[in-house]
Amino acid sequence: MTKLRSVWFVCALGWLGVMPTWADAPVDSDQAAKLIRMVRQDCGSCHGMRLTGGLGPALTPQAMREMPVESIAATIYHGRPGTPMPPWRAIINETQAQWIAEQLQAGFPQELAERTSR
């Protein structure tokens, strides 16, 4: 049953256009758009849709300022055992986790659709 769930999960990611990237290639604009959407939707479900906190802590630049970016990236990639924070390594690579961490410290961008509608 667990194998079946894993296969279903990977297939669902493919349908969503967010297939795991196994190679640590630099983040291009297409990947960035997908990562922005993933963080806003998936991470936002626990950290708040505006990333200001919820079940999980705030992911705002003010909250992340003093944290080493490598520590943030490691938490994204490996999760936090014993907490609700899951590892995202099945969906993203370490380069993408590092990119997300850097963006969180700088002020995470809005999704493209939101930026163009203003």
pLDDT score at 70: 97
Asked, for residue 11, whether it belongs to a domain, the answer is no
Q: Give the separation between CA 23 and CA 37, rounded to whole angstroms.
A: 21
pLDDT (0 to 100) of residue 111: 81
Nearest by Cα to 54 from 66, 45, 41: 45
The answer to whether residue 25 scores a pLDDT higher than 70 is no
The domain tally of the chain equals 1
pLDDT band of residue 24 (cuts 50, 70, 90) is low
> Does the residue 38 lie in any domain?
yes
Distance CA 14, CA 9 (A): 9
**Residue at 5 is within a domain:** no
| Residue 113 scores a pLDDT above 60 | no
Residue 99 lies in a domain: yes
Identify whether 3 is part of a domain: no
Taking only the tens place, the pLDDT of each residue in 27-38 is 898 999 999 999
56 in any annotated domain: yes
Q: Quick check: is 7 in a domain? A: no
What CATH number did the domain enclosing 82 receive? 1.10.760.10
Average pLDDT over residues 11-36: 66
What average pLDDT is seen over the chain? 82
pLDDT higher at 97 or 14: 97
Helix axes 29-38, 94-106, angle to 10 degrees: 70
Task: Supply the range of the domain harboring residue 105.
Answer: 23-116
User: Are the C-beta atoms of 22 and 89 separated by less than 8 Å?
Assistant: no
